[in-house]
Structure 1
Amino acid sequence: VTHRNTNWPVRSLSTADRTGSPIFSYLWSYVINIFGNIFDLYQYFAKIKKLKHFLSLSKSGYP
């Protein structure tokens, strides 16, 4: 319950006012993309490592 002397909430804030600086949002998208690319590379190299291990087993005559 609010008192009738309480100020009404501001309803006309821009997106930048509500979520922070627009340049921060812009730069943050690059940070997210960079970490996504790093994760993709990690998965790629993990698959290569598994493939090399599999190929070494098949060359050694492992059934």
Structure 2
Amino acid sequence: MANNLNMSYKPFKLYFDRNGALILDVCVLTPGQKEKDFETLGDEIYGMLDLVMKFMGENYRNWMKEIW
């Protein structure tokens, strides 16, 4: 399940830790200089979090079926 999602969805990755918990790993890279691009940084982070929330909403039920 996690591998199939990882192949089709690139902004973040899913994996199972040693205890069997499903982990969502997110990495946000922001180009530019701190002072110059700081105003748009919040929008970029909010956009990524919005994407994560939509992804989780679409897949949560299927994850629980697989895990339980």
TM-score category, normalised to shorter length: 0.3 to 0.5
User: TM-score with structure 2 length normalisation?
Assistant: 0.38
The structure that is helix-richer by fraction is 1
The structure that is strand-richer by fraction is 2
Query: Larger C-alpha radius of gyration, 1 or 2?
Result: 1
Which of structures 1 and 2 has the larger relative contact order (alpha carbons within 8 angstroms, sep 6+)? 2
User: TM-score with structure 1 length normalisation?
Assistant: 0.40
